[in-house]
């Protein structure tokens, strides 16, 4: 048999052959999960890390870095993290993906170095980052090497903050994100959590019991549903790994690759059910689902809602107007009357900052009675949270359009991008009302003592009705247009085409806000 047939080289160097054999063994070790580890993945409904990456990137586009990290140490293929570059629908991106089959995806010194290098690459090349998180946190045995130093784990967070607003950071949380590692998702623009598997927590239930005496389950403390419904840390719930990756790719289709670019554009599609004059109930006391207005406004099936399970009185998300990405901020009277609470103010502020960072125009759909009042919300900091939302609206430099769908009372008008905040246009439907407060509350506030002095019920009712009529005449929508508070009053069926034209004209607006080092936002 010839040397070619046996794969040997009679003139070869045994040392090179040995290197090749060892590299092949190291390569094979991280090519697939060991049988026992694969069985565990299957039982959890998880996908192996390289199969996750294959679902993300276009076929044949992935280039990996650091595959042989810690190769001299047995049982640590790639040191538990896969990093590299590829294209997502033709657009370049970086992936940082924990391998939960390697010591539960925990971090060693080489793990941290690979992640730091990947984030440095993202900063240098201004490439978006997909974080595939499934990690038990730091390896205590490696803490001196990977925790405190200048290129330790802290550098990861430092680089994430530097990346914020520069490139999209999208996190799919497939499993745990424990202790300090929980901050990786928190610095991302989007967190998608797989229900039943994903969790985020600074201290485990066992640690909580030891330190503070609290007995709590992992799901209650940091589970996916809790974070997507209670804490608001999570953005979207996914049923499995594949759906999480598909949602991540869908989100990416709405945003640019970096702050210097504009979002991708797509072929225009008419709404499935266009807006009509009947879409919005004329009586402000009748609740309705603002999704009906959104779906009638944006291209067919293009609305991508964020945080749908948290603070439902406010709806946020991306849609497309004639193929162009816009951000939607909308009050929903079907939930808590559309009143703004601390959570909804936080929800809006961060989304507005996100849109402003990545050149996404904003459309506000106002149907808001104002901010919630009462001792509970005051103790919860409604003023500082509301100020955060108003601050975001004020400083945003992308095109902004305030559409008063029905009511916009008090500071609710300000928080929804009203005339005083320099929107490109303030548009009202004929159903709109703008005032410091609603007629009933206003009359009571001004005339409470006078009303109480009128003993006759009929006379009292007439007095209240007269005062209310005067108040409504004072804030009549036509008067507000005549005084140039409003730029336009149009019917609902004209709104989409009007906004499309205004967007085109606003595309060249100045993006400068003010001279300073940075704002000091309310917290």
Specify the 3-state DSSP secondary structure of 20: helix
Question: Within its chain, how far is the Cα of 246 from the centroid?
Answer: 15
Q: Which residues contact 429 (CB under 8 A, 6 or more apart)?
A: 280, 403, 404, 405, 406, 489, 490, 491, 492, 495
Cβ 298 vs Cβ 333: under 8 Å: no
For 153, the token pair is 């784990």
**Paired residues of 238 in beta bridges:** 194
* Cα 27 to Cα 267: distance, rounded to the nearest angstrom: 43
Alpha-carbon distances of 59 from 30, 87, 162, rounded to whole Å: 19, 9, 30
Alpha-carbon distances of 467 from 48, 434, 473, 477, rounded to whole Å: 69, 17, 10, 18
pTM: 0.94
As assigned by CATH, the class of the 290-507 domain is alpha beta
Give the pLDDT confidence of 328-366 residue by residue, as tens digits. Answer: 999 999 999 999 999 999 999 999 999 999 999 999 999
Cβ 19 vs Cβ 68: under 8 Å: no
* Cα 114 to Cα 71: distance, rounded to the nearest angstrom: 14
Residue by residue, what is the 3-state secondary structure of 221-273? HHEHHHHHHHHCCCCEEECCHHHHHHHHHHHHCCCCCCCCCCCCCCCCCCCCC
* Cα 481 to Cα 487: distance, rounded to the nearest angstrom: 7
Alpha-carbon distances of 512 from 162, 363, 414, 517, rounded to whole Å: 21, 19, 21, 13
pLDDT at 2: 52
Specify the 3-state DSSP secondary structure of 81: strand
Among residues 271, 272, 270, 275, the alpha carbon closest in space to that of 492 is found at: 275
Would residue 345 be called left, alpha or beta, if left means φ above 0 and alpha means ψ between -120 and 50 degrees? alpha
pLDDT at 519: 86
Residues of the chain with pLDDT below 50 are: 1
For 475, the token pair is 């804030």
pLDDT at 138: 86
Q: What is the dihedral sign for C-alpha 322, 358, 115, 146?
A: negative
pLDDT at 5: 53
Question: Under CATH, which architecture does the 31-254 domain have?
Answer: Alpha-Beta Complex (3.90)
For residue 454, give the H/E element and its range. none
* Cα 127 to Cα 96: distance, rounded to the nearest angstrom: 12
Residue ranges, CATH 3.90.226.10, the chain? 31-254, 290-507
For 94, the token pair is 């970086």
Specify the 3-state DSSP secondary structure of 504: helix
Q: Which residues contact 375 (CB under 8 A, 6 or more apart)?
A: none
For 394, the token pair is 């004020």
* Cα 142 to Cα 359: distance, rounded to the nearest angstrom: 42
Specify the 3-state DSSP secondary structure of 407: strand
């Amino acid at each position: 048999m010839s040397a070619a047939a046996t794969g040997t080289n009679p003139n070869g160097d045994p040392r090179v052959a040995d290197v090749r054999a060892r590299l092949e063994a190291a390569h094979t070790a991280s090519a697939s999960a060991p049988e026992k580890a694969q069985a565990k993945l299957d039982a959890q409904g998880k996908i192996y890390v390289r199969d996750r990456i294959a679902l993300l990137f276009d076929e044949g586009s992935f280039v990996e870095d650091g595959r042989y990290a810690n190769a001299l140490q047995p049982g640590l293929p790639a040191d538990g993290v896969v990093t590299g570059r590829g294209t997502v629908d033709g657009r370049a991106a970086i992936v940082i993906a924990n391998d939960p089959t390697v010591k539960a995806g925990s971090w060693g010194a080489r793990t941290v170095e690979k992640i730091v290098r990947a984030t440095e690459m993202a900063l240098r090349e201004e490439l978006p980052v997909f974080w595939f998180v499934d990690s038990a946190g730091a390896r205590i045995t490696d803490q001196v090497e990977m925790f405190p130093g200048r290129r330790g784990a802290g550098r990861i967070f430092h680089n994430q903050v530097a990346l914020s607003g520069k490139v999209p950071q999208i996190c799919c949380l497939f499993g745990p994100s424990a202790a300090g590692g929980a901050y990786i998702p928190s610095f991302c623009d989007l967190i998608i959590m797989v229900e039943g598997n994903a969790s985020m927590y600074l201290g485990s239930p066992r640690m909580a019991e030891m330190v503070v005496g609290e007995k709590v389950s992992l799901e209650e403390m940091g589970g996916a549903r809790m974070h997507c419904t209670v804490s608001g840390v999570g953005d979207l719930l996914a049923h499995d790994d594949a759906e999480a990756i598909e949602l991540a790719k869908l989100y990416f289709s709405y945003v640019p690759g970096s702050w210097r670019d504009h979002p991708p554009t797509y072929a225009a599609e008419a709404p499935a059910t266009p807006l009509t004059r009947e879409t919005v109930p004329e009586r402000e006391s009748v609740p309705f689902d603002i999704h009906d207005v959104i779906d009638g406004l944006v291209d067919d099936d293009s609305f991508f809602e964020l945080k749908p399970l948290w603070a439902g009185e406010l709806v946020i998300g991306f849609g497309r107007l004639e193929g162009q990405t816009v951000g939607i901020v909308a009050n929903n009277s079907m939930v808590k009357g559309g009143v703004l609470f601390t959570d909804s103010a936080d929800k809006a502020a961060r989304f507005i900052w996100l849109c402003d960072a990545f050149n996404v125009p904003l459309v506000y759909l106002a149907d808001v009675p104002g901010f919630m009042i009462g001792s509970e919300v005051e103790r919860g900091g409604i003023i500082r949270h509301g100020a955060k939302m108003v601050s975001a609206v004020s400083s945003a430099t992308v095109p902004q359009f305030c559409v008063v769908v029905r009511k916009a009372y008090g500071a609710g008008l300000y928080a929804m991008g009203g005339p005083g905040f320099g929107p490109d246009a303030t548009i009202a439907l004929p159903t709109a009302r703008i005032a410091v407060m609603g007629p009933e509350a206003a009359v009571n506030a001004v005339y409470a003592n006078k009303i109480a002095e009128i003993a006759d019920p009929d006379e009292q009712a007439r007095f209240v009705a007269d005062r209310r009529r005067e108040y409504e005449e004072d804030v009549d929508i036509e008067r507000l247009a005549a005084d140039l508070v409003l730029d336009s009053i149009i019917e609902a069926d004209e709104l989409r085409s009007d906004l499309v034209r205004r967007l085109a004209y606003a595309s060249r607006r100045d993006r400068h806000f003010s001279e300073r080092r940075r704002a000091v936002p309310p917290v």
